[in-house]
Chains A and B, each alone.
Chain A
Amino acid sequence: MEKKLAVYLCSGCGIGEAIRVDSLAKLASGELKAPICRTSGQLCGPEGAAQLQRDIAEEGVNCLVLAACSPRVSWPAFSFDPRRIVSERVNLREQVAWSHEPRPREGEQLDEDIQALAEDQLRMGIARARLMETAEPSVEGRDKRVLVLGGGVTGLSAALNVAAAGYEAVLVEREEQLGGFARRLHLGYPRSAPYTELAPSPIAALVEETESCPRIEIHRSATIQSISGAPGMFKARILRQGKTVEEGAGAIILAAGFEPYDPRGLEELGYGRLSAVVTSVAFEELAARGELARPSDGGPLGSVAFIQCAGSRDERHLAYCSSICCMNSLKQALYVRERYPDAKIYIIYKDMRTPGQYEHFYQRAQEDEGIFFAQGEVRAVGQCEDGRALVELDSVLHRERIGLAADLVVLATGMVPRTALGEGPGADGSEGPSKGEPAPATANLPSDIVRSGTLNLDYRQGPELPSLKYGFPDSHFICFPYESRRTGIFAAGSVRQPMDMAACMRDARGAALKAIQCVEMVSEGKALHPRSGDLASPKLFMQRCTQCKRCTEECPFGMYDDDGRGNPVPNPTRCRRCGICMGSCPERIISFEDFSVAMVGAMIKAIEVPEEETLRILVFACENDAYPALDMVGLRRGRYNPFVRIVPLRCIGSLNLVWIADALSKGIDGILLLGCKHGEDYQCHFIQGSALANERLGKIKETLDRLMLEPERVRIEQVEIDDCDRIPAILDGFLETIEAIGPNPYKGV
């Protein structure tokens, strides 16, 4: 692209009072050779904005450097079509004028250190803009069908929602009949106001509607042999009655559901030892068949005890709460009460969890004179002399151990996501754990991937969605619950979190939206969340690739496949444009039109490093969290030292170590990385970026040793977006550390 550069300098909002904008202009048009350089008292105002448009139309300007406020504000005036225009914002307001000493009194000199900061930030912006290219969207995937895996409540709801919005769905169910676990239910608990009555399970209606929907293609008794491709162009090989059929899709909804927790570990609660002890699943099936009766002799049930949290909320079994069991036991209690009006029900619980309007159902059960609630911890389940089961518990109300005799004991067992379970031998013939057993991660897979046989992805990084904990797929489960680490594959329903049918149906609706959004955006070459709409795409200069495999291993989204010889094979529609692969590549062969190792390298090169003892600190800041926090310091007119030079990165994980080597060898005294929290409660929007940056930094010691520099010169700090109170102390504290070590000996070399 033939570029015509224009530099615009704003003096408004206090910029002109903190720095000499005219000398910046001289710098731009003189030393930095910008063909056009204009100053404005308010660049974002109507006149300024009109000037920009005029220069684009009349002067052929297509490369704009806007030195004014933070890129986080004034976007309406400063947004351009990235396919035609490249633009770079230089933050003179929040991060220069507002965060350093205000205007000196008349007659006093302006602070030269602040002027030098502004000059460097301008040099850096221009250097980057010179290398930026207009976006060339990669439009590869145009398939708009949605593949839904699982034909239970979630899968059926997802497919129906996809269809209702006008798109086609392909549904794959491993069993002969649709309906999944819900088919085994007798009745459902209330799903709408007044939330007091048992309701028929919605499954029959969902199955019927799905089967008659012309937009849904159904594969029954079918499993996924493999899935290859990428958003907009997935290819699924489906094994159906011994035959393989192939279906294309643009996005995938994983609705693999759950398995009831294996009760074999619950012997202490009598399971397997006493015939009067059954699981809630077995109880449900008895109810569905109309066979609720005393196990000993088939007589009427006189008393039933429900033991809540059987295997849930228990470190030895499932550490989490399975969410549905309290409501489910209340429902099952009503089954007994309806069938045997004289029966007594005991519900033994730790906390009754009937959140929201489900409380009405709990209230109804509390009003039922045959249902007794006993809060406490079950200590033993044994047998009475008359053959009934005896549940011994430490009762909170009685403040002592009590015994409850019951004809039947129901263990309210929890839910395990199917993705946490092994599926027998893997697709590649390797031995997996036997079906239904919790599957430990195998040696050849990353620790967070369980070979569950649900997706069988032909992905370099393994066949399934990486899990965060307990086998639930990794996601930003608060702000962006549908986020997954495999672009275009959205988990929904009880595979994602323990949830009941009503919640599954709602979850399926959301997943359907995300799938549709995915196929639409991918068809236009746009990135998905969090850089929604980004039109740039990764470019690889393969001639220089050394097959080190770092990119293929480190991409949090599994973007790269491997050609078998160690060469990365990019799948651009899987790419989220975080640049983490760019940071990982020692040969620097990966770049985006608007972000590359060379661009940041040029920014670093553009920093003027004085030969005298004045220090220079390079700060890499995560664009989403650290950078806004730095802006907030300015907004509050906080103060930090003017020796820092800030380079925003779209993720701190895009940091390439060569930048650190470049910076140190040109005499920069210290380098500070401001990234997001990593670890279990990570805050990185690209999941692993900040963890990877931290890991890479561990390797920097080698470089520092080679240069004979102190390790303290490079530091990483975890900051949050609302950390603006801490930031000045971090920046100034780091400066103090560097002052104590002394200047970089490479200065002026």
Chain B
Amino acid sequence: MKEGEPRGSGPEERRTLLVVGGGMAGITAAVEAAEAGCTVHLVEREAYLGGRAVRHGQYFPKLCPPTCGMEINFKRIKNNPRIHVHTMAEVTEVREAKGAYEVEIGLRPRYVSSSCTACGRCAQVCRTEIPNPFDYGMGRIKAAHLPHEMAFPMRYVLSPELVGTEDGAACQAACEQGAIDLEMTPEKVRVSCSSIIVATGWKPYDPARLEQTCFGSTKNLITNVMMERLLAPGGPTRGKILRPSDGREARSVAFCQCMGSRDERHLKYCSGVCCMASLKQAHLLEERLPDCEIHIFYIDLRAYGTYEELLAKVRSSGRIKLTRGKVGKITEDPLSGEVTLEAEDLARGAISRLKVDMAVLALGMVPSTRAEGIPGLELDLDADGFLVDGPRVFGAGCVSRPSDVAMTVQDSTGAALAALAAIEAIEAAAQR
């Protein structure tokens, strides 16, 4: 483009981009593309943006809260009229026609309109409680609730359980803004765009498939993402590490690495982030619980690049016992609630047995694209289920490869460039 020549003289749709998924990847792709001149529709299934990252306690390696960077990004969204955020939304259909995508977005009823001021009166009167999905079901929350304290958009949501109930009516009556409408029905929005960024993130590997761990029946066995919530100051325990079985503070915790990852029977690949996540969690535990005994069972400690520093810090404190060997069987002592781990200890050449208050499964990362597609859009997936970029469909973050937050931001910024390049190609073709 020549100096001073205005860009984007073509129709608006050509410069419009659909971003599916409003986690770290989707937010980044949307904001970066919009600040480079694109119009963006950002579609998020939950009632809030931030995805899985916003549910983390702290990021490694700086041990800083996710909401800090989110706050900046939310400010960038608020100040940018080119970004259209759709929450409680899913892409229900994509049709390709004449080089453009016609997209249908389905909106689930929130039962709360945009006039909500987050005053919280509905929650005050609401008596129905539900397991808090934000905390992976640990802890309970009012059925009329703010998804979390830093939620963006800062707007309440009513869960469908309240429809047609007295409690729902009470919530409605309590709302001074008249923002509650329990008769809301699903809606559809249609947009056209020229390219699509898929940023639907990941899911932890299903622990039920790791039969030897007896996950579910072992009360004090939790997953790594649950541990993030326990460590979060805004989490169900306000940052305390309490055993689910009896609410007592944990005196010993063990982390089991490669649960599902690097395993022929489960995920053949390495999930890339779990070593750092567990090192971080263990390090936070040693800071917060001076008497807690902490173990990590691992195959290799993958603290690549400058992340090595956190591993060096953990090693130098000497409080965290690092054992090379993978945890096999996990059993529960039903009386004490203690968890017994059996692991091969390669350094000793023996099977080691360890009894702890609580154990954490470092579950692998499964790209969302492996289980769900986008209706009408053919996605090119590799054998592991990760998305391979097409000419106008691009992956961002964990749908493309196992990524930590920093890699996700890097990759999603790049996905925005790919979208810009696709737009340029379309515009060049249109001018010809």
Give A residues with C-beta under 8 Å from B: 12-14, 41-42, 44-46, 69, 72-76, 79, 142-145, 161, 164-168, 192-194, 313, 319-323, 351-360, 363, 375, 396-397, 399, 469-470, 472, 476-482, 497-499, 506-510, 512-514, 516-517, 520-521, 529-530, 532-533, 624-625, 628, 632, 635-636, 677, 681, 683, 685, 720-725
Contacts A360-B269, A478-B62 given; indicate if A12 touches B117 (C-beta within 8 A). yes
Q: Are A532 and B76 in contact (CB under 8 A)?
A: yes
Closest to B414 in A: A509
Interface string of B381-419 (1 = CB under 8 A from A): 011101010000000000001110110011111111110
Closest to A13 in B: B119
A-B contact pairs, 30 of them (CB 8 A): A13-B176, A76-B114, A161-B421, A166-B1, A193-B384, A319-B312, A321-B308, A353-B300, A353-B302, A356-B403, A357-B269, A357-B402, A359-B261, A359-B268, A399-B347, A482-B410, A498-B305, A506-B414, A507-B410, A508-B414, A510-B412, A513-B414, A514-B32, A514-B413, A516-B36, A520-B35, A520-B37, A533-B80, A681-B61, A722-B233
Contacts A142-B3, A359-B268, A628-B71 given; indicate if A480 touches B409 (C-beta within 8 A). yes
Q: Which residues of B contact A357 (CB under 8 A)?
A: 269-270, 382, 384, 386, 401-402
Q: Which of B114, B346, B416 has the most CB of A within 10 A?
A: B416
Contacts A532-B79, A683-B68 given; indicate if A363 touches B36 (C-beta within 8 A). no
Decide yes or no whether B309 CB sits under 8 A from chain A. Answer: yes
Q: Are A510 and B413 in contact (CB under 8 A)?
A: yes
Contacts A351-B302, A399-B349, A722-B234 given; indicate if A167 touches B71 (C-beta within 8 A). no
Q: Which residues of A contact B75 (CB under 8 A)?
A: 530, 532, 624
Within 8 A of A (CB), among B28-63: 31-33, 35-37, 59, 61-63
Contacts A164-B421, A506-B410 given; indicate if A721 touches B62 (C-beta within 8 A). no
Q: Which residues of B contact A530 (CB under 8 A)?
A: 72, 75-76
B295 to chain A, nearest CB (A): 17
Q: Are B68 and A516 in contact (CB under 8 A)?
A: no
Q: Which residues of A contact B71 (CB under 8 A)?
A: 624-625, 628, 721
Q: Top 9 nearest A-B pairs by Cβ distance? A: A479-B69, A509-B414, A193-B382, A510-B413, A164-B421, A513-B417, A351-B300, A166-B424, A13-B119
Extra contacts, 10 of them, besides A69-B117, A321-B308, A635-B118 (Cβ < 8 A), are A12-B176, A76-B114, A143-B3, A168-B1, A478-B406, A479-B405, A509-B418, A510-B414, A721-B65, A722-B232
Q: Which residues of A contact B68 (CB under 8 A)?
A: 479, 624-625, 683, 685, 720-722
- Select which of B120, B304, B347 is within 8 A of A353 by beta carbon: B304
Distance A360 CA – B424 CA, assembled complex (angstroms): 36
Q: Which residues of A contact B382 (CB under 8 A)?
A: 192-194, 357
Q: Are B402 and A74 in contact (CB under 8 A)?
A: no
Q: Are B176 and A516 in contact (CB under 8 A)?
A: no
Decide yes or no whether B303 CB sits under 8 A from chain A. Answer: yes
Q: Are A321 and B307 in contact (CB under 8 A)?
A: yes
Q: Which residues of A contact B304 (CB under 8 A)?
A: 321, 323, 353, 355, 498
Q: Which residues of A contact B239 (CB under 8 A)?
A: 725
Q: Are A165 and B417 in contact (CB under 8 A)?
A: yes
B389 to chain A, nearest CB (A): 10
Q: Are B410 and A510 in contact (CB under 8 A)?
A: yes
Within 8 A of A (CB), among B267-281: 268-272
Q: Which residues of B contact A194 (CB under 8 A)?
A: 382-383
- Select which of A497, A509, A517, A635 is within 8 A of B35 by beta carbon: A517
- Select which of A45, A193, A720 is within 8 A of B388 by beta carbon: A193
Interface string of B290-321 (1 = CB under 8 A from A): 00000000001111111111001000000000
Closest to B179 in A: A45
Decide yes or no whether B165 CB sits under 8 A from chain A. Answer: no
Q: Are A636 and B272 in contact (CB under 8 A)?
A: no
Closest to A415 in B: B305
Contacts A13-B117, A510-B417 given; indicate if A469 touches B65 (C-beta within 8 A). no
Q: Are B306 and A75 in contact (CB under 8 A)?
A: no
Q: Which residues of B contact A472 (CB under 8 A)?
A: 306
Decide yes or no whether B115 CB sits under 8 A from chain A. Answer: yes
